[in-house]
Amino acid sequence: MVTKTRTTKETDITISLDLQGSGKGNINTGVGFLDHMLESFSKHSLIDLDVVCRGDTHIDDHHSVEDVGIVLGSLIAEALYPVQKMERFGSANIVMDEACVSCDLDLSNRPFLVYKLDIVGKVGSFDTELVEEFFRAFVLNAKISTHIVQQRGKNKHHIIEAAFKSLAVALRRAMATNERVGIPSTKDVL
């Protein structure tokens, strides 16, 4: 289990994780919908997560959502790199009722995000534009090349949850142990 704390004028966040966990999540960000998405992420990635965020949600959820992505991503980078004896590449197509979202990723140590979800508006009180903010903060700080693309769907909740689950499963597959690959790069470093 590794832990990271980040305190700013807007948020105070502590996250602990175990990459080789069993998918147990103890999440309290102050943003209910984000809690639900991170619980799904933990369950399907098999990463044990403890997340506590105290943020300025009296203003809005933006700072909490983005900053949790920053801390979670940077903690995953610390736990992952240098990548050795892992598959490195992962992909998943996740279906939630009428929605299907794909995630393809590379534990490259070179962050890049392709984000194509057709979601505008709110899910309950949650602004859907914050989904992209979370993924961008997460990917840039985790140093992972990630493509998250909606294949189909109409229900915003289903689309967003499928996106989080597809990221989780793709990450789990990319982190799968493979003793034969050594350092999975022709450059001999990731």
**Tens digits of per-residue pLDDT, 42-80?**
999 999 999 999 999 999 999 999 999 999 999 999 999
Which among 55, 50, 58 is positioned nearest to 66, based on CA atoms? 55
Cα angle 74, 31, 96; round to 5: 85
Query: Domain extents for the chain?
Result: 2-181
Please say if the pLDDT value at position 185 is more than 90: no
pTM for the whole thing?
A: 0.97
The domain over range 2-181 is classified in CATH as 3.30.450.20: no
